[in-house]
Amino acid sequence: MRACIVIGGGIMGGLTALNLLQRGVSVTLVERQAFGRESSWAGGGIVSPLYPWRYPAAISALANWSQGFYPQLAQQLLAQTGVDPEVSRTGLLWLDHAESEQALAWAKERQQPLNSVSATQIYQQVPPLAPGFTQALWQADLANVRNPRLLAALKAHLLQFANFTLLEHTSVVGLNQADGRIGGVHLADRSLSADAVVLAAGAWSGDLLAQSGWTLPVEPVKGQMLLYKAEPGWLSSMVLYQGRYAIPRRDGHILIGSTLEYAGYDKSTTVEATDSLAASAAALLPALAEREPVMQWAGLRPGSPEGIPLIGEVPALPGLWLNCGHFRNGLVLAPAACRLLTDLMLQQAPIIAPEPYAPERQLLPR
């Protein structure tokens, strides 16, 4: 393969492009807005599924590989660009969780360093927590990544490759199909040709396939976030309680998230979400009730059945490859998902078994 077109400039499209470029493939990346400003930018950046024991083995396999790779990726991007993605190993506390027994059994089976800790240990680890928590699950090696900086570093690194072209604010209006293969894309003013096309457009991934007669079970799911500012180090670890989390950044910013809303492509923020997230922030960290949020935003996750992404070639449309449908775990799964896709595209030994992600398992004719 000499040339590829990647549709979508989020973490999936960007890391897919980087993997291909590192293996000598020329890449043109087409993004309808600015690179890295959709779901990948909007997420919290926890390098773990929120409740990893609830997920099927297909998600765990991708997550485990990615968790091990993130420090290396951050070091590589920092060295190449001077932009630090800030992969911070803060650990995560699941507070007073009803599934503790199930979670510990899962951890024992998978040899994950997840432990039960007492109230004393909870408040030693995170002194600003609200009083009254009695026990928690604790995994010390879990990290978070500052995703806006990750995307900035990724974009800067991609632009260092001579065989990379970035087309921002450019919409793909159709797929170029000839002789039974997908051989490029149609833009509003021209067509582009390539040996392969990768569809990694997040919540928008289904639109082009619909034109080709296929239904992709990916839909937008809105998530809203609040951002607070405290002193650096005030919150030392990530905490999670009743579906809401607080994530510390190195400079003292604290993310509170998130909502889960089926509202189509509406990315507007709401007063209802502000109030709900602020209440969650105060319930976790009472001192935040005395501070005004410094920012609120929303993003659209690419929702999919069971959260299992589609990774691989579309049998009915040879030449078209999918890397989409990662739902709430895009940042968690991205390094492994993009490496797996590239392995398949270049006919190299895949890092993990690809069968659970085969597009034909979920694609439906219209």
Taking the C-alpha atoms of residue 11 and residue 155, their distance in angstroms, rounded to an integer, is: 10
Domains belonging to the chain, first-starting first, are 3-54+149-217+305-365 (3.50.50.60), 92-140+219-303 (3.30.9.10)
The Cα angle at residue 87 between residues 137 and 154, in degrees rounded to 5: 140
- In this structure, the strands spanning 295-303 and 135-139 are unpaired
Taking the C-alpha atoms of residue 292 and residue 273, their distance in angstroms, rounded to an integer, is: 15
pLDDT digits (tens, 9 = 90+) for 115-140: 999 999 999 999 999 999 999 999 99
Is it true that the peptide bond before 280 is cis, omega within 30 degrees of 0?
no
pLDDT for residue 364: 86
Beta carbons of 7 and 190 less than 8 angstroms apart:
no
pLDDT digits (tens, 9 = 90+) for 35-67: 999 999 999 999 999 999 999 999 999 999 999
Say if residue 297's pLDDT is above 90: yes
pLDDT for residue 192: 98
The letter for the amino acid at 107 is A
pLDDT for residue 324: 97
CB atoms within 10 A of CB 246: 26
The Cα angle at residue 76 between residues 72 and 82, in degrees rounded to 5: 135
The letter for the amino acid at 126 is V
Write the burial class of residue 238 (CB in 10 Å: 0-12 exposed, 13-18 middle, 19+ buried): buried
Quickly list H helices, the chain: 11-22, 39-42, 57-81, 100-110, 119-125, 147-158, 206-211, 271-284, 330-345
